[in-house]
Amino acid sequence: MSHFTKVATKINNLTALADALKKMGLKFSAAEQDQHVVVRGYKGQKIEAAMSIDMGKYDIGVVQAEDGTYGLVADWWGVETTVGKTEQEVVEEVSREYAYARVVQACEEQGYQIAREDINVASDGSVQIVASKWG
């Protein structure tokens, strides 16, 4: 039987997460302030979350923890059977794109512009970002 399971992730900025999800081409819905969206699971099970990422028949929920950060909750069996990626693969992809979006956002907040980015796909997939600031 399938059920909702939370994975250990630390997301602090829902705007950066939304940017990352857009870049990944994933559909999502975000709750208005003091509201929730519905996350779909196995056999019609539902939970409420701050954001719902549409993975086809199932969703990934972005839920707020007691410390104010957000984590990912899903019926991971359902997500895996729908998209063909394991929980770990999905979480790593979302985490990687979120981290990139957060760095870009932080640079822009401080008045920097991204001049260049180099992705080191051959070895470890790291991204080097070159930012500049005129002033």
pLDDT digits (tens, 9 = 90+) for 98-118: 988 988 898 888 888 877 776
Q: How many other CB atoms are there within 10 angstroms of residue 120's CB atom?
A: 10
CA 111 to the chain's CA centroid: 25
Which range, 3-12, 85-94, 100-109, 121-130, has the best average confidence (pLDDT)?
85-94
Could you tell me the pTM of the whole model?
0.84
Range 120-127 average pLDDT:
61
DSSP-derived pairing of the beta strands 70-74 and 113-120: unpaired
Rounded Cα distance, 36 and 48, in Å:
6
Asked whether residue 9 carries a pLDDT value surpassing 50, the answer given is: yes
pLDDT band at 1, cuts 50/70/90? very low
Write down the mean pLDDT value for the chain: 87
- pLDDT tens-digit map of 21-77: 999 999 999 999 889 999 999 989 999 999 999 999 999 999 998 999 999 999 999
Residue in this structure with the two tokens 């997500």, named with its chain if needed: 79
Tell me the backbone φ, ψ of residue 134, rounded to 5 degrees.
-100, 140
Distance CA 101, CA 84 (A): 25
